[in-house]
Structure 1
Amino acid sequence: MVNSIDFNVSNKILIVLGVVGSILVFGGAFVGFKVVPDGINMKLWETKVLKENTEQWNIFVKTPFPFTFKVYIYDVKNPEEILEGEKPLVEEVGPFVYKLFKWKQEIDWSTPDDISYNLYTRYEFDKDASGLYSDETKVTIFNSMFYSIMLKIEETQPDAFGLIESELPKIFGENDGLFIKVKVKDYLFEGLKFCENEGANAGFAGSMFCRQVIGKLHESKTLRLENKTVLFSNMHYKNNTHSGRFTVKSGQKTREEAGRLHLYNGKEYISTWSGDKSICNKIRGVTTVFPVDVKPDMIFESFAEDICRTVALEYSSEETVKTLNGLKFVAKNDTFSTSNKENSCFCQNKTRTFDTKLGCAKDGITDLSPCTGGPVMVSFPHLLYGNKEYQTSVQGMDPDKSKHETSLILEPLSGYPLYAAQRIQFNMFLRPIEGMESLANVSRALMPLFWVEETLLIGDQYIEMMKSELFHTMNIINIVKWIVITSGSACLIIAALAIIYKRAP
Structure 2
Amino acid sequence: MTAGAPRCAALALGLLGTACLALGVVLLGALPIIVREEVIKNVRIQPDSSFFQLWKEIPVPFYFSVYIFEVLNPNEVLNGMKPAVRQRGPYVYREFRDKKNITFHKNYTVSFLEYRRFYFQPDMSNGTEEDYVVVPNILALGGAVMMEHYPPSVRVAISTAFSFFKQKGFMNRTVGEILWGYEDPLLKFLNTIKPGLVPFNDKFGLFVDFNNSHMGMFTVNTGVDDISKVQMVDNWNGLKKVSYWRSDQCNQINGTAGELWPPFITPSTPIEFYSADACRSMRLQYKDSGEFQGIPVYRYVTPKTLFANGTDYPPNEGFCPCRESGIQNVSSCRLNAPVFLSQPHFYNADPALLETVDGLHPSEQKHGLILELHPLTGSPLNVSVRLQLSLFIKRVPLIIQTQKINPVVLPMLWFEERGVIEGHIVDQFYTDLVLIPSVLGYLQYCAVALGSVLLIITIFLWLKSKKDIQAKALQALDPRNGEPRDPATASLLRKNSSLNNNIDN
Q: Is the 8 A contact 1:393 1:444 kept in 2?
A: no
1:179 aligns with 2:158: no
* Cα distance in 2 between the residues matched to 1:308 and 1:450: 18
Checking the alignment, whether the CA contact within 8 Å between 1:192 and 1:233 is kept in structure 2 is no
Task: Tell me if 1:225 matches 2:198.
Answer: no
Within the candidate set 113, 116, 139, 1:118 is matched to 113
Pairing partner for 1:486 from 446, 449, 469:
449
How many residues align? The count is 462
Match of 1:344 in 2: 317
Over residues 258-296 of structure 1, what are the superposed CA-to-partner deviations in whole Å (9 max), with x where a residue is unaligned?
Answer: 221120111211111113xx1211112123333333322
1:39-438 alignment to 2 at 5 Å? 39-111=34-106, 113-130=108-125, 132-171=126-165, 173=166, 176-195=167-186, 198=189, 211=193, 215-218=196-199, 224-226=200-202, 231-275=203-247, 278-287=248-257, 288-338=259-309, 339-347=312-320, 351=321, 360-373=322-335, 374-438=337-401
In the aligned structure 2, how far is the partner of 1:163 from the partner of 1:308? 32
Distance 2:326 2:110 in 1: 35
Superposed CA deviations along residues 123-154 of structure 1, whole A, max 9, x for unmatched, are 11122221x41111111112222112112222
Q: Structure 1 residues 441 and 346 mapped into 2: Cα distance closer, same or farther (>3 Å)?
A: same
How far did 1:465 drift? 1.1
Which one-letter code corresponds to 1:485 in the other structure?
V
TM-score (norm 1): 0.83
Relative to 1, partners in 2 of residues 1:28 and 1:328: Cα closer, same or farther, differing over 3 Å? farther
Query: Could you say which residue in structure 1 is the equivalent of 2:486?
Result: none
- Is contact 2:58-2:98 (8 Å) kept? yes
CA distance in 1, matches of 2:101, 2:377: 29
User: What does residue range 467-486 of structure 1 map to in structure 2 within 5 Å?
Assistant: 467-486=430-449
CA shift at 1:58, angstroms?
2.1
Asked if 1 retains the 8 angstrom alpha-carbon contact of 2:190 and 2:198, the reply is no
Query: Do 1:365 and 1:379's aligned partners in 2 also have CA atoms closer than 8 Å?
Result: yes
Distance 1:286 1:31, change over 3 A: farther
Asked if the contact 2:190–2:197 (Cα under 8 Å) also holds between the matched residues in 1, the reply is no
The separation in 2 between residues aligned to 1:370 and 1:34, in whole angstroms, is 54
CA RMSD of aligned residues (A): 3.0
Q: Distance in 1 between matches of 2:313 and 2:27?
A: 44
Q: Say if 1:53 and 1:46 are closer, same or farther in 2 by CA, change over 3 A.
A: closer
CA contact (8 A) 1:41 1:292 kept: no
- Any conservation in 1 of the 2:158–2:399 contact (CA below 8 Å)? no
Deviations 1:97-125 (A, max 9, x none): 11111122222223251111222111111
Q: Is the 8 A contact 1:137 1:184 kept in 2?
A: yes
Runs of 5+ in structure 1 lacking a partner? 201-209, 219-223, 352-359
2-structure distance, mates of 1:166, 1:466: 62
Q: Considering only CA atoms, is the larger Rg found in Structure 1 or Structure 2?
A: 2
What code does the residue aligned with 1:282 have? Answer: Q
Distance 2:429 2:155 in 1: 64
Please, which runs of 5 or more residues in structure 2 have no aligned partner? Answer: 468-505
Match status 1:466 vs 2:429 = yes
Provide the rounded CA distance (Å) in 1 between the counterparts of 2:115 and 2:157: 43
Distance 1:343 1:76, change over 3 A: same
Give distance in 1, aligned partners of 2:393 and 2:431.
Answer: 56
Rounded to whole Å, the distance in 2 between the matches of 1:269 and 1:70 is 30
Equivalent residue for 2:488? none
- Taking a change above 3 Å as real, the CA distance of residues 44 and 134 of structure 1, as seen in their structure-2 partners, is same
CA distance in 2, matches of 1:396, 1:262: 43
Shift of 1:482: 2.6
- Contact 2:141/2:401 (<8 A) preserved: no
Q: TM-score, normalised by structure 2?
A: 0.83
Alpha-carbon distance, 1:442 to partner: 1.5
- Whole-angstrom distance in 2 between the partners of 1:433 and 1:479: 71
Aligned-residue offset at 1:196: 6.3
Residue pair 1:65, 1:101 contacting (<8 A) in 2 also: no
